[in-house]
Amino acid sequence: MSGSTRSSADLDPRRRKILFRAWHRGMREMDLIMGRFADDAIAGFDDAELDEFERLIEVPDRDLLGWITGEIALPENYDTELFHRLKAFHRHDKPIHV
């Protein structure tokens, strides 16, 4: 079970693949963070945003989670508008599984 609430039927093959990968990262917390963001935003991504999101998907879960929580310093080459949108998408005043 992925947890996705979005159908991929209307997406092109690249977006379908990215959406699947966002929901199947390995660490459940990152599935929820990346998957929910992808559910919401992937249809509107332009090619550059798709490239950037694919690059974020390649980051190991522990590193990406540390960047999002602020426990690990964000490397300059990942300090992008898309990363900040991902981070801001999730409210920190409630658990991510709610």
Query: Looking at residue 1, what is its pLDDT?
Result: 43
Pull the structure tokens for residue 92. 């920190």
DSSP 1: -
Q: Which residues of the chain have pLDDT under 50?
A: 1, 96-98
Query: Looking at residue 81, what is its pLDDT?
Result: 96
Residue 46 Rama label (left phi>0; alpha psi -120 to 50; beta): beta
Query: Looking at residue 10, what is its pLDDT?
Result: 76
Name the residue among 12, 8, 19 with its Cα closest to residue 54.
Answer: 19
Pull the structure tokens for residue 16. 């379908």
Query: Looking at residue 82, what is its pLDDT?
Result: 97
> Model's pTM, two decimal places?
0.83
